[in-house]
Copies of this chain bind each other. A is one copy, B any other.
Amino acid sequence: MPSLPSKQLETFPNPKPARRYEILFDAPEFTCLCPLTGQPDFAHIKVRYIPDEKCIELKSFKLYLWSYRNEGAFHEAVTNQICDDLVAATDPHFLEVTGDFFVRGGVRTVVTATHKKG
């Protein structure tokens, strides 16, 4: 099994910092493990943010999501963790992460965590 990428997120300078515009990353390919059973969980992750000085580099975002592949992660905690990591890397005006997790026990779970600067 390959070694997974680290959680290091790359950024690049916002090409239009004077304007408060929005960027959406829509990523249907996310998987981690259930911390209780070790079984795979799957989710569709969406990140919507208003950058300040830094934008998230797309390829490093893909690798960041990939880094969860062999980690145990509860739905509520992992969605907040992604939110925290993206905020730490880019210090945006606004950032929202939605984790839409596939059905378990007949129930679909969707967690939405939002950060506003200041």
Q: Interface range on chain A: under 10, 10 to 19, 20 to 34, or 35 or more?
A: 35 or more
Q: Is A9 interfacial (CB 8 A cutoff)?
A: no
CA distance A95 to B70 in the complex (A): 32
Protomer copies: 10
A104 near B2 (CB under 8 angstroms)?
no
* 10 A-B pairs closest in CB distance: A21-B113, A16-B80, A24-B110, A15-B77, A2-B38, A1-B70, A26-B108, A62-B105, A103-B103, A29-B106
Residues of A within 8 A of B (CB): 1-2, 14-16, 19-29, 31, 33, 38-40, 42, 51, 55, 58-59, 61-62, 66, 69-70, 74-77, 79-80, 83, 102-115
